[in-house]
Structure formats: C-alpha cells, structure tokens
Amino acid sequence: MARIAVIGAGMGAMAAAARLAVAGHQVAVYERGSGHGGGVGRFARDGFTFDTGPGLLHLPAVYRDLFLKTGKESLESRVELRQVDPAGRHLFADGTDLRLPNASRAGVVRALDEAVGAGAGERWSDLINRAREAWDATRRPLLEEPLAADWSALGRDPYPAPPRRGWFRRGRQRPGTLAEVASRELRDARLTALLESHALAYSLDPRTAPAGATVLPYLEQTFGSWYVGGGLRALADALYERCRARRVEFHFDADVTSILEKDGRAAGLTLADGTTVAADSVVAGVSPMALRALLGDSSPWRDGDVLPPAAGTGRGAGTSSAGRLTVFLALRGGRDADAAHRTVVHAADRAAELASIFGTGAGGDGTGRRPEPCVARPTVTVLRPDDPATRPDDDHEAVTLTATVAPHGARGPVDWSRPGVASAAADRLVAAAEAAIPGLRERVLWREERTPRDTAADTGVPDGSVPSPALAGGDGRFLRPGNLTRLPGLYLAGGWAHPGGGLAHAGMSGALVAGLLVEGADWRGSQ
C-alpha cells in the first residue's frame, strides 16, 4: 500500500483519488480552498441556487464507469440523471428559432430543414458523419490512453474533408480550421454559428481551432445532454462522498507550497503552515503555472512533452485562451412551461465578438488588440432548469447566463477588476437573453456576476482562463501536457493535463493517472 498525496480537490483529482483508494492505496487530498469540486461549485442566496461551473453533462459514461469501478453503487443511485429535451434551442440574429432534439440524428435533420431550409439538415448530417470518423480515429489515443511520448500522429488533423468536385479539383481538400470547414461545407451563417458555438463553449477560437473540433457537436448530438437534479454540483458532492466512503482523507484550507523530491522522485509536500507530508507519489490537479512554482520554478516537462503556452513555445494547449462571464439571475414569476433548459442566443456580429474575445491579430490568435469585453452582442447561453431545488418556490425562477469572454489581465487584455467593466458586460448578456426570455429585465429581483477574475481567485490560474478539451490536429497545439512528468512519482490530473478541459475529460484524466500509478509508466490504457 503506497501513500499518495493529491493536490487539489477538483473533479479530475477526486476521480484519481477514488480509483487509487479502491486499488488499496492510502490517499490524502490537500485543497487550498475550503471545499471540494474545483470549478464545479454552487452559489446560493435567498432560496436560489446556481451552478458556478458547467450546467450540463456530456458523456455521462465516464462517471458511470467511475462509480461502477469504485463501489457497488451506480451513478444513478447517487444522483438524479436525466436527459434534457430539447437538447438546445438556438436563436439567430435573423430571427430563426431552432429547437434541436436530444440524441436524435433524424430529428436534428428534420429540425434544421424546417428552421433553416431544405438541405440544411443533410449538410449538417454530412459534417457530423465526417466528425464521427475523426472521433473513431482518435478516441482511444486522445482520450483513453496516456499521451504517447511520440504524439506527432495526433498533430495531424483526423477530419476527413470531402473530395474536391470538378475536373480541376481532384483529390481531397485539406481539413483546415473549424471556421474554414463551416464556410466550405455548411454555407449558411446560421449553421456556421451553430457549429462555432460548440467551440466557443469550450473557450476555443473557431478561426484557429482545427477541423477535428467537429467532434464536439458530434459528441453532444450522439451521447446527449444530461442534467443532474439539484445541479451539476450534486455530481461533485456524490464524488466527494464516494471518496470519503473509500477512506480518502481530505484536508481543506491546506495550501501546498512545494513538492518534495528525494532520490530523484516525488516524495511528498510542504504546506503553507510549514507542515511536511511524506508520500510515495504525488498527483497534482493544478494548472501548469502553479505546478512549476511548486517545483521551485524548475520545469516539470520531459524532453518532447507537449508544453503549455506559459512554457514559451508554440507547442501545446492551443493558441488562444478565454474566460467565462456568468450572471446569476433571481427572477420573480414562474418558469414558462415550454421553456427550453438551454437556449443559445447567437451573436449578431460574429467578427466583432471573436475579436473581443481572442483579439484581432492574424488568424485570431489573441496577439492583436482586443476591444472592450463583449462590446458586440455576445453569444449567450441561457440555462433555465426545471428543478424545484434551484428556486424558493414555483413563483420564482433561477436563470444562469454565460458567455465566453477575454481572460483577466490587470495590464491587458481586459482588467475585469476595473469599476464598471463587469456590470456593463453583464448588462449586455441580460439584454441579449431577452430574446429567449421576453421581459427579462422587469423580472430581475437581483443578480450576481462572476468574471474571469473570480475564476482566477478560485482556481489559481492567473488570467482566469478555462481549459479546453484536447483536440487532434493543429500540429499538436491543441493537446495537453501528458499525465507523466520529468519527476518520477509526480502525475498530472484535471483539465490542464491530458486529455484536457471539460467535466468528462477531467474524469478521464483521473482514470489515466490511476492506471499509470497502479500499472506502471508503460501502461497503455484498459483493453
């Protein structure tokens, strides 16, 4: 039985802790905050409750597997898990109103033909079919196996672009970026907005994201969108309780200041109060910036590793970063009976929105000037769960608005602490959301705002950016650092490590870390 110290109580770290405890190890978690869950938090006030992180779960099989492998109780025995239908309502700038059914390919085709026009469903379906090929080609090496030392194959885009047509257009077109795929294959501003909204939701710039990012709408359309009764925070609570049931120790308000080394391997932790914790292995569920500081500013990366942007090279983790602005609304008046759980109100000016988030530099890589945050009307996601647990009674409603925005920076690109910046941006979200909820502003009892600056305070990521899922293509720039480091006995879990951000991906990272630690560095995933 080995002693394993886990830094952080986020979802990836807890997923690793639960699996390692079941494998017979003595596991202790050290969290600098006062509670568990990381970005999957909860805000409560006056009988209203809101998720501070994701509002829906995709790929629930990841957590079903986790609960199955760590005990005799299923995931559904611990939380109420239900599909939302429609999966989403989409409101476009020209007034088009589209409702997409959950996990129904034929239903999506019919809905697109009716709302957008004949042939729209077929064009979208063809794109999703090619996305399925990309998913099948990369699913295992990208999500179910530790990142290979030679990851160059994942740097090639797996998206099978359609063949060129015409006498002088033989052969296949290069995959290109997600935006180029939309322009070439969808040929409709509304379908483009639909495709690109999946990238934006994961903090990706569609102008630079590889064509392989088409797997994001494929996953949602194929495996469905799921809501957890009481909010996604209930899933974090269930995972925490599963860890406790497996005798994982939790130490909160325990700020780790360094990772100890002995005989060339990780040997424990030092806490802010001077306490030394001995361990045989360490699992770090922290950002790359924080990890380097814990190692005395020495590099945690091995030769040939995928590197985070902060490492100063062009390899790894994409070329753009973004944060998230969230507005919690306590409303008077009950929820409409036909209200969609999730409505996406698409931006009227795509170019202005992308420039305000990612910058106006060549290729939209964030190196150019950025206007004020969300000067243009942003793409806003409106969450209206039909859940009595989120509101004081049926005469009130709890609504969450979210938008992808520029990250925080006291010297740029956006200083979210500057007076008036957050409230003005939140005003624009509320104004946009009125397309989904007419008369919204008159119903507001109070509102709370959470900016990338708040994310920075919660997570320790200086700019409050949100990690995106790992993607194949882009010469490896959209991969995440592997779960192994240059220091034997030190492993990486969570959204900033392979296979990247998102609730499902965090759970996968925990499974990969547990497999590597239990089976050894040569382990290549479950067969």
Per residue in 121-158, pLDDT tens?
999 999 999 999 999 999 999 999 999 888 999 999 99
Contacts of 420 (CB under 8 A, 6+ apart): none
Q: Residue 260's pLDDT is what?
A: 96
Q: What is the average pLDDT value for the chain, to the nearest integer?
A: 90
Q: Return the closest-CA partner of residue 341 out of 49, 83, 52.
A: 83
- Percentage of residues in the chain with pLDDT exceeding 90? 79
Distance CA 403, CA 433 (A): 11
Distance CA 499, CA 510 (A): 10
How many other CB atoms sit within 10 Å of the CB of residue 430? 18
Q: Residue 165's pLDDT is what?
A: 58
The DSSP output letter for 230 is T
Q: Is the pLDDT reported for residue 166 higher than 80?
A: no
Phi, psi of 139, deg, nearest 5: -55, -50
Distance CA 458, CA 425 (A): 21
The pTM (predicted TM-score) of the whole model is 0.93
Cis ω for the linkage preceding 141 (within 30 of 0): no
Distance CA 460, CA 477 (A): 23
Distance CA 377, CA 352 (A): 9
The amino acid that residue 371 corresponds to is: P
Q: Which residues face 88 on adjacent strands?
A: 100
Secondary structure (3-state) at 518: helix
Task: Output the six-digit token pair for 416.
Answer: 């979210």
Task: Output the six-digit token pair for 274.
Answer: 């001077």
Q: Residue 149's pLDDT is what?
A: 86
Distance CA 252, CA 305 (A): 32
Residue 69, Cβ density class (10 Å: 0-12 exposed, 13-18 middle, ≥19 buried): middle
- Averaged pLDDT for residues 45-53: 96
Distance CA 480, CA 132 (A): 22
Pairwise pLDDT comparison (85 vs 376), residue with the higher score: 85
Instruction: Give yes or no for a contact between 126 and 207, defined as CB atoms under 8 angstroms apart.
Output: no
How would residue 314 be classed by pLDDT, with cut points 50, 70 and 90?
A: very low
Q: Residue 315's pLDDT is what?
A: 41
Distance CA 342, CA 378 (A): 16
The DSSP output letter for 301 is P
Secondary structure (3-state) at 523: coil
Q: Residue 303's pLDDT is what?
A: 77
Phi, psi of 372, deg, nearest 5: -60, 155
Q: Residue 409's pLDDT is what?
A: 85
Place of tokens 């102008």: 207
Distance CA 456, CA 18 (A): 27
* DSSP H helical ranges for 175-232: 178-181, 189-201, 215-223
466: left (phi over 0), alpha (psi -120 to 50) or beta: beta
Q: Is the pLDDT reported for residue 162 higher than 60?
A: yes
- Percentage of residues in the chain with pLDDT exceeding 70? 91
Secondary structure (3-state) at 286: coil
The DSSP output letter for 249 is E
Sign of CA dihedral 316, 131, 158, 359: negative
**Pairing relation of β-strands 26-30 and 249-251?**
parallel
Distance CA 83, CA 91 (A): 21
* DSSP H helical ranges for 448-492: 452-459
Secondary structure (3-state) at 82: strand
Q: Is the pLDDT reported for residue 427 higher than 70?
A: yes
How would residue 309 be classed by pLDDT, with cut points 50, 70 and 90?
A: low
The DSSP output letter for 35 is S
Q: Is the pLDDT reported for residue 374 higher than 70?
A: no
* DSSP H helical ranges for 367-495: 421-433, 440-443, 452-459
Distance CA 414, CA 432 (A): 21
How would residue 170 be classed by pLDDT, with cut points 50, 70 and 90?
A: low
The DSSP output letter for 144 is I
Strand locations in 346-489 (E): 380-383, 396-405, 444-450
- Averaged pLDDT for residues 450-476: 90
Secondary structure (3-state) at 483: coil
Q: Which residues face 342 on adjacent strands?
A: 383
Pairwise pLDDT comparison (30 vs 170), residue with the higher score: 30
Q: Is the pLDDT reported for residue 85 higher than 80?
A: yes
